[in-house]
Amino acid sequence: MQGLLLRGYGGLRAACFMLYGVEHPAAAREFLAALADRVTPASRKPAQQALHIAVTVPGLRRLGLPDAVVAGFPLEMREGMVTAHRSRILGDVDASAPEGWKFGGPAGPEVHMMLLVYGGNSSLLAPIVRELAGEAKEGGLGEIVRLETTDIGRAEHFGFRDGISQPRLEGIGSATHGQDETLRAGELVLGYRDEYGLYALRPMVASHEDPAGTLPADAGGSPQHDLGRNGSYLVFRQLEQDVHGFWRYVDAAARHDGRGANPEARIELASKLVGRWPGGAPLVLSPDSDDPALADANDFRYHAADAYGQRCPVAAHVRRANPRDSLDPRPGTARSIEVANHHRLLRRGRSYGPRLPMDDALAHGGDDTPRGLYFICLNTNLSRQFEFVQQTWVRSPKFAGLYDEPDPILAGGSFSIPTETVRRRLPDVPRFVTVRGGAYFFLPGIRAVRYLAGLGGVGSGGEPGNSSRPVGS
């Protein structure tokens, strides 16, 4: 299994995401063969650097994966992130429409592969990236884009501590403060049983197509070999954040409350939008002020303490991205948590662009420098996990009985803050986040990387599929 499923590499502060098109399939397979031994396995905690590989379905076809095997991927993977239907459900419209994307959209080259490279800091990372780029070129890959990240600390660009709440998997890793209920491994890792006791859709290979037994057997009991096992589906999206717009809006809304140019009032209001304080403390546990002792707190529920959102608004980002025990059929019960746990995501995002603190954003106004989040999440069922969270919880204006309130961080619209007395309503929250690119990838297990490298030999199913679109740039 690739180590990214187990670790977010918080200690490896620098990262680079390198996106490629496969120009020469045979050379690309040789490149993969060499890479398979260098991909960081979950069994080893890397001290200095980590390397991961992910491939799109068009990329797998280019490498020579036969149609019959590709057919085993779920529809979302086969269709990709950019279809009219998917753009609608993900909210990739207007300024976020794929037509304007820097990569992954219809105007650009088809994305086939991504290398995710991590290093202790940017100067340690730079030579690794340079070397890999050279090898990738020799290995028949055309670079589409190289996405550098920026170490802005533990907070994302709006200034809120991120990467706190993650699902914990049965049998994998050990419990830490940042992890709550244990999920069955199949929620995040293909080839294992999920919360329904089922195996998620994944590609299988007939045993005669894998005579050397490179792949593991199907744990589900069929005679096929499991190309998916120990892999996952990786969502990659470039989400640009308008930090100046965010603070300008929050400042104006706080002034409207009659509290003047008061930084505390701004922080308080912004925290209502997020659902945690900048330091990380959840509003439901600490409604009146940030609390460093609760920076990593994750063992909390909403219903008993805050059924109506007077501490943490129902529409706040974290409450709708994981409602915990607040949803029907019986809020406050184990059943409610069980329902929410069918829609969990393992997040592995990284920020890019220079930090713009609140005071600077307000004092100097906006700049043209792009900044934001390379949103990465892992799951085994894109429609039940990532797409459901994005469409039904995050973007839906009718989430949890709300009338007209999408996620204030991601979608804009109106937002209300219930209080003991009157409800405060912000009618016109602008959209602060714009999608600039994205794709769905398969994060293969390490044995699957070896299998892909061996395609084109015995039993490969023939020539790689031809793409009608240009590759590389």
Query: Which residue, 70 or 89, has its beta carbon nearer to ligand HEM?
Result: 89
Q: How far apart are CA 91 and CA 388, in angstroms?
A: 12
Q: Which is nearer to ligand HEM, 31 or 160 (CB)?
A: 160
Q: Which of 2, 40, 96, 165 binds ligand HEM (CB under 6 A)?
A: 165
425 φ/ψ angles, rounded to the nearest 5 degrees = -120, 125
Which residue type occupies 351? S
Q: Is 410 in the site for ligand HEM (CB under 6 A)?
A: yes
Structure tokens that stand for 89 in this block: 């459900």
Helix axes 446-453, 25-36, angle to 10 degrees: 150
Q: How many residues bind ligand HEM (CB under 6 A)?
A: 24
Query: Do 115 and 51 meet the contact criterion of CB atoms below 8 Å apart?
Result: yes
From 8-16, 153-161, 246-254, 333-341, give the range in contact with ligand HEM by CB under 6 A: 153-161
| Closest of 402, 100, 112 to residue 236, by C-alpha | 112
156 binds ligand HEM (CB under 6 A): yes
Single out the residue of 120, 163, 332, 357 in contact with ligand HEM (rule: CB under 6 A). Answer: 163
| Nearest approach, Cβ of residue 167 and ligand HEM (Å) | 8
From 141, 146, 143, select the one nearest 22 (Cα to Cα): 141
**Contact string (CB under 6 A) for ligand HEM, positions 304-323, x = contact:** -------------xx--xx-
What is d(CA 452, CA 414) in angstroms, rounded to the nearest whole number? 48
- DSSP class per residue in 349-368: -EEES----HHHHHHH---S
**From residue 349 to residue 388, what is the string marking binding to ligand HEM with x (rule CB under 6 A)?**
------------------------x-x-------------
Coil vs helix vs strand at 285: coil
Q: Inter-axis angle of helices 263-274 and 243-254, to 10 degrees? A: 110
CB of 442 to ligand HEM, least distance (A): 19
Nearer to ligand HEM (CB atom), residue 343 or residue 447:
343
CB of 185 to ligand HEM, least distance (A): 19
Binding of ligand HEM by 274 (CB under 6 A): yes
Q: Which of residues 421-440 bind ligand HEM (CB under 6 A)?
A: 433
Nearer to ligand HEM, 39 or 429 (CB): 429
Selected from 17, 118, 158, 451, the binder of ligand HEM by CB under 6 A is 158
Distance CA 18, CA 119 (A): 14
Q: Is 268 in the site for ligand HEM (CB under 6 A)?
A: no
CA–CA gap between residue 170 and residue 296 (Å, rounded): 21
Least gap, CB of 245 to ligand HEM (angstroms): 13
Q: How far is the CB of 404 from ligand HEM (least distance, A)?
A: 20
Identified binder of ligand HEM from the candidate list 17, 20, 118, 160, rule CB under 6 A? 160
Q: What's the DSSP call for residue 109? A: P
- Measured distance CA(140)–CA(162) in Å, rounded: 37
Nearer to ligand HEM, 129 or 394 (CB): 394
Mapped onto helix, strand or coil, the DSSP state of residue 413 is: strand
What track of x and - describes contact with ligand HEM for positions 235 through 264 (by CB under 6 A)? Answer: ----x-x-----------------------
At its nearest, how many Å lie between ligand HEM and the CB of residue 183? 12
CB-nearer residue toward ligand HEM: 33 or 295: 295
Q: What's the CA gap between 144 and 134, in Å, rounded?
A: 14
**Torsion (CA) 121, 156, 178, 41 in degrees, nearest 10:** -40
E strand intervals along 125-277: 141-148, 166-169, 179-183, 204-205, 225-226, 232-241
In the complex, minimum distance from the CB of residue 15 to ligand HEM, in angstroms, rounded to a whole number: 16
- Residue 289 CB, shortest distance to ligand HEM, in Å, is 17
- Does 409 participate in binding ligand HEM (rule CB under 6 A)? yes
In sequence order, which residues have a C-beta less than 8 Å from that of residue 230 and are 6 or more positions away? 1, 2, 189, 190, 191, 216, 445, 446, 447, 448
Query: Do residues 433 and 412 lie in contact, with contact meaning Cβ atoms separated by under 8 Å?
Result: no
* Residues binding ligand HEM (CB under 6 A): 156, 158, 160, 162-165, 239, 241, 274, 276, 317-318, 321-322, 345, 373, 375, 389-390, 394, 409-410, 433
